[in-house]
Structure 1
């Protein structure tokens, strides 16, 4: 059997490398990765602000700046990237 041939009922082969994925799928996955990265940054900023509020980290005016940063990250990415499945 040739490498690209399939038996009846078999699932299509899964691309093994990023460049093998169709462009629209690459774009979709990239947008989801960016959305998740932005949310991770925002969550870390919120965590640091809470630690400063609790006195664990030295507060030099940082908690409100971190909350503002978190809000900006979330606001600028909320509508810019579509939510995609469970990738």
Structure 2
């Protein structure tokens, strides 16, 4: 691989560490599942009194479990590379 001397790298271009990525995935999964469980419990308790409200809450929070798993298993984010292009007139 040939390196260009004019090409510069930035610390912000670095990928997050494996531990940081795992922490982020766990946090996302935990938050979404907490919302799912609270919504499911509220929807279940409301179902006995106002069945339509409880049913709507259960239907809305139902897919959150699936979404949480998809986001937790998603590939790590890729850092966008900044263009280091500088016109010759400005060098």
Q: What TM-score comes out, normalization by structure 2 length?
A: 0.53
Larger Rg: 2
Match of residue 54, structure 2, among 63, 73, 78: 63
Structure 1's consecutive aligned runs of 4 or more residues displaced over 6 angstroms after TM superposition are none
Q: Residue 30 of structure 2 corresponds to which residue in structure 1?
A: 36
TM-fit CA distance, 1:60: 7.1
Q: Residue 88 of structure 2 corresponds to which residue in structure 1?
A: none
Match of residue 76, structure 1, among 64, 67, 72: 67
Count of aligned pairs: 58
Structure 2: gaps (5+ residues): 1-15, 74-91
Deviations 1:23-77 (A, max 9, x none): 221111111011011111010111111221233xxx2722122112222211112
Q: How does 1:1-20 map to 2 (within 5 A)?
A: none
1 CA distance for matches of 2:47 and 2:60? 16
Structure 1: gaps (5+ residues): 1-21, 83-87
The question of whether the paired residues in 1 share the 8 Å contact of 2:46 and 2:53 is answered with yes
2 CA distance for matches of 1:69 and 1:28? 27
The question of whether the paired residues in 2 share the 8 Å contact of 1:53 and 1:63 is answered with yes
CA-based RMSD of the aligned residues comes to 1.9
